[in-house]
Structure 1
Amino acid sequence: MAHDFDVAIVGCGPVGATLAIALGQQGVRAVAIERETSIYHLPRAVCFDGEILRMYQSLGVADGIAGVSVPMRGFRYENDAGQALIDWDLPYDRTGSQGWGDTHMFHQPDVESLLRRTMAELPGIEMWDGHTVEQLEQDGDGVRLTVRARASSTTRTVTAAYAVGCDGGSSFVRRAIGANFETLGPEQDWVVIDGVKLRPLDDLPEAMIGYCWPSRPHFFVPMGEPRLRWEFMVLPDDDRSVIGTPEGAYGLIERFAGRDDVRIDRSAIYTFRSLLADPWRVGRVFLAGDAAHMQPPLRAQGLCSGIRDTINLSWKLAAVLRGEAADGLLGTYEAERRAHARAWIEIATELSNVINTTDPQVAAGRDAHLLANPMPYRNETPPLGPGLHGDAAPPAGLLSEQAVLPDGSRLDDETGWRFLVAMTPAVEAALDDDTRRALADERWFHVLDPGAAVADELLARHGAGGALVVRPDRYVLGVADDATGLDELISRWTGHTTAAVPH
Structure 2
Amino acid sequence: MHQAYDVAIVGYGPVGATLANLLGQSGLSVCVIERDNAVFPLPRAGHFDDEVMRVWQAAGLADEIAATVRVNPGMRFVNADGQLLVDWPRPSVLGNQAWHASYRFHQPHIEQILRQGVQRFSTVKTRLGTEVISARREEARVCLGLRASTGDHETLSASYIVGCDGGRSAIRRFMDVGSTDHGSHEKWLVVDLLLSADRDDLGDFTVQYCDPERPTTYIRMVGNRRRWELMLMPGDDPDQIVKSDRVWQLLQPWIGPSEAQIERAVVYTFHALTANHWHQGRFLLAGDAAHQTPPFLGQGMCAGIRDASNLAWKLAAVVKGEASESLLDSYQQERAPHVKYYIDLAIRLGGVLQATDVSKVQERDRLLGTAPEQLVSEKPRLGLSGVNTNQSLAGLLSDQVYLDDGTRIDDRVGYDFAVLGSPDFMRNLPQSVRDILAGYTLIEDEAGQDYLQRVGAEAIVLRPDRYILGAAASVAEFESLLSLIPRRLRAGEPA
The TM tier, using the shorter chain, reads over 0.9
Residues 278 and 249 (structure 1 numbering): CA distance in 2 closer, same or farther, change over 3 Å?
Answer: same
1:112 equivalent to 2:103? Answer no
Q: Is the 8 A contact 1:183 1:275 kept in 2?
A: yes
Identify which of 449, 459, 471 aligns with 2:452. Answer: 459
Contact 1:70–1:106 (8 Å) recurs in 2: yes
CA-atom RMSD in angstroms: 2.0
Match of 1:256 in 2: 254
How has the CA–CA distance of structure 1 residues 426 and 389 changed in structure 2, closer, same or farther, with 3 Å as cutoff?
farther
Which residues in structure 2 correspond to 1:346-385 (within 5 Å)? 346-385=344-383
TM-score by length of 2: 0.94
Structure 2 partner of 1:203: 201
2:25 aligned with 1:33: no
Q: State how far apart, in whole Å, the 1-side matches of 2:376 and 2:460 are.
A: 23
Which residue is equivalent to 2:98?
A: 99
1:205-247 superposed Cα distances (whole Å, 9 cap, x missing partner): 1110001111111100000220010001111122333212222
Aligned to 2:133: 134
Distance in 1 separating the partners of 2:228 and 2:153: 42
Superposed, 1:421-460 pairs within 5 Å as: 421-424=419-422, 427-428=425-426, 431=429, 434-439=432-437, 441=438, 443=439, 445-449=440-444, 452-460=445-453
Q: Secondary structure at the match of 1:4?
A: strand
2: distance between equivalents of 1:131 and 1:233?
35
Deviation at 1:343, TM superposition (A): 1.6
Q: Which moved more, 1:301-310 or 1:405-414?
A: 405-414
Q: Distance in 1 between matches of 2:435 and 2:303?
A: 36
Report the equivalent of 1:64.
Answer: 64
Residue of structure 1 equivalent to 2:286: 288
Mapped contact 1:326–1:497 kept (Cα < 8 A) = no
Q: Distance between the aligned counterparts of 1:388 and 1:448, measured in 2?
A: 25
Alignment of 1:30-429 (within 5 A): 30-92=30-92, 94-151=93-150, 153-392=151-390, 395-405=393-403, 407-424=405-422, 427-428=425-426
Match of 2:14 in 1: 14
Partner residue of 1:472? 464
2:422 and 2:407 map into 1 onto residues whose CA distance is: 23
Deviations 1:87-141 (A, max 9, x none): 233113x211111111110110111111111222321111111111000112231
The AA in structure 2 aligned to 1:56 is W
Please give the TM-score of this superposition, normalised by the length of structure 1. 0.93
Q: Which residue of 1 aligns with 2:479?
A: 487
| Range with greater deviation from structure 2 (324-333 or 141-150) | 324-333
Alpha carbons 1:428, 1:483 under 8 Å: kept: no
Cα drift, residue 426 of structure 1:
5.8
Q: Return the offset for 1:186.
A: 2.1
Deviation per residue, 1:350-385 (Å, 9 max, x gap): 121111100122122112222344433322121111
Q: 1:459 to 1:122 in 2, by over 3 A?
A: same
Checking the alignment, whether the CA contact within 8 Å between 1:326 and 1:498 is kept in structure 2 is no
Secondary structure of the 2:441 match is strand
Task: Report the count of equivalent residues.
Answer: 491
Code of the residue aligned with 2:376 in structure 1: it is R
Shift of 1:431: 4.5
Counterpart CA distance in 2 for 1:112 and 1:230 is 23
Question: Distance in 1 between the 2:376 and 2:418 partners?
Answer: 26
Query: d(CA) in 2 for partners of 1:107 and 1:477?
Result: 34
Contact kept, 8 Å, 2:70 with 2:104, in 1: the verdict is yes
SS, match of residue 203 in structure 1: helix
1:404: how far off? Answer: 2.4
Q: 1:467 to 1:433 in 2, by over 3 A?
A: same
User: How far 1:349 sits from its partner (Å)?
Assistant: 1.3
Q: List per-residue Cα deviations over 1:321-347 (Å, max 9, x = no partner).
A: 222222222221121112211222112
Distance 1:237 1:101 in 2: 42
Gaps of 5+ in 1: none
Quote the Cα distance in structure 2 between the aligned partners of 1:97 and 1:217.
34
Note if contact 1:388-1:493 (Cα within 8 Å) is conserved in structure 2.
no
Letter of the aligned partner of 1:48 in structure 2? Answer: F
Q: Which moved more, 1:133-142 or 1:227-236?
A: 133-142
Counterpart amino acid of 2:461? V
State the AA in 2 paired with 1:322. K
The DSSP-based 3-state class of the residue aligned with 2:201 is coil
Q: CA deviation at 1:433?
A: 5.7
CA contact (8 A) 1:389 1:478 kept: no
Partner Cα separation in structure 2 for residue 402 and residue 424 of structure 1: 16
Gaps of 5+ in 2: none
1:5 aligned onto 2:5: yes
